[in-house]
Amino acid sequence: MQPGAASRNLWVPGVTVTRVGDVTPIRRASAKPKAMEFFAGIGLARMGLERAGFQVTWANDYEPDKKAMYTAHFGESDGHTFALSDIGKVDVSELPTDAALAWASSPCTDLSLAGARAGFAGAESGVFWEFVKLLDQLGDNRPPVIVLENVTGLATSHGGDDLTAAIKAFNELGYSVDVVALDTRRFLPQSRPRMFVIGAKNPPVDTAEPHCELRPDYLQWVFGDPSLRTHRAHLPAPPAPRIKGLSALIEDMLVADERWWDAERTAAFEASLSPMQRARVAELKRGKGVKHRTAYRRTRAGVAVWEVRPDDISGCLRTARGGSSKQAVVRLGNKRLQVRWMTPLEYARLMGAGNYNLDGARNNQALFGFGDAVAVPVVGWLAKHYLMPLLRGELVAAPSVDPQASVHVQ
C-alpha cells in the first residue's frame, strides 16, 4: 500500500468490497441475504423469498398447526429458528441482528372487506404494532428493508387512516415507504389481490409513472400526502392477468370418487342457484367436454346460496375453519354436474406450492394454512424485481420521456 492510502470495507448483501488505493478486489460471500419471517404461517413467503436468493433464518407464528406443517415441509436445521409464540411475547433478544429483510404477513381479519373492519385497532390485525415495537427495539440492527403484506382493504380501512398510521410508524423508524398492489391472478388462476408496504432505509429515486399497474388509482393519495416520506421504485410491468388455467390444476378424480357429493346434496346445490346462475350452469352441463368452475356459499337476504364463478379462474382462497368459507369445485359437461370440496393439493397448487409436503396434515388444517397465506410466485416476483435489487442498490429511475416528442408512423 502506498503511504497515505486508505483501506475500508463496504457492506453490500452477499458482497464484501475492500478498497486498497486504486485496486478494488471483490470477494463474493457464500452467504445469502438473511431474512426474518413474521406471522410465517406455513412458510409460503419463505418459499418465494428463497426462490429469489434470500435465506430465511428466523420465523414466528403462534399456531401449532401451522408450525407443524412448516416443519414437515422445511424440516429443522441449525441455521433456522421457528419461534412458536404470540408475537407480543417475542423478546427482541431472540431476533437475529444480521437480517437484511423483515417480512410480515400480518393478520388481515380486521382489514378485510369481508370482516368487521376494526382495522389496526382490532384484536388480530392490531398485532402489527408488536411487529413495529420489535423493529424499534432492534435499534441500529434493524434490517435495511422491511415488508408488510396484507389485503388491499388496508388502503381504505378507516378512510385510509390505518395505512397512514403504518407508513408513519415505518417513517419514524427511519424507512421511506413504497406501496404496491399485486394480484395472484398475474401468476396463477386465482383472484387474490394483495398489498405490499415496503420500507427502505436507502430508498431508490422516486419515479412517478402514470397509469402504473402496480400502483392503481386507489393508492395514489399515499404519494401525494406531504406528511409521509414515500418513494416509488421503477419496476418492470408484472405479467398480464390470467384468464384461464384453473382446470389444469384440478385433481383428476374418477366420477365415482366418494368425495363427489351425493345426488341429494348436489340437487340442493343446484336449487340454491339464482335463475341467472342456474341457466349458466345448465348450459355448461349440456356442453361437450369437461369444464371446471369454483363456487362459494354466501348469504343473500338471510338465505344461504351458492354462487358459481363464470370463468376458468378460482375465487380467492380463504381461511377454511367453517363450511361457509370453503371453496367448492364444480365439474360440468357431457350432461353431468358434480360438486365437491376443493382438496388441499388444489389449494396448494393455486398458491404456487404444488410440491408442498402435505403428509400428516389434516384436511382443514391444510386448507386453513394455504387460505391464510401469500402466494409463492407473488413473493418471488417482488423479491426478484424489487427487494433484492433494492438491497444491492441496483434500482434505477425510469427512462425519461419527452412529452413534446412526436411519433411518426410511416
Task: Identify whether the C-beta of residue 234 lies closer than 8 Å to the C-beta of residue 204.
Answer: yes
Is 108 among the catalytic positions?
A: yes
C-alpha closest to that of 161 among 221, 205, 113: 221
CB-based burial, 42-52: b 16+ in 10 Å, e otherwise: bbbbbbbbbbb
What is the C-alpha radius of gyration for the chain, rounded to an integer number of angstroms?
A: 24
177 forms beta bridges with 199, 230
Q: Round to whole Å and give the CA distance between 285 and 303.
A: 25
Q: Where is 282: in which H helix or E strand?
A: helix 275-286
Q: Where is 198: in which H helix or E strand?
A: strand 193-200
Catalytic residue of the set 108, 222, 329, 383: 108
Q: Round to whole Å and give the CA distance between 188 and 291.
A: 18
Task: Identify whether the C-beta of residue 341 lies closer than 8 Å to the C-beta of residue 257.
Answer: no
User: In angstroms, what CA-CA distances link 63 with 39, 75, 363?
Assistant: 10, 17, 16
Q: Which residues are catalytic?
A: 108
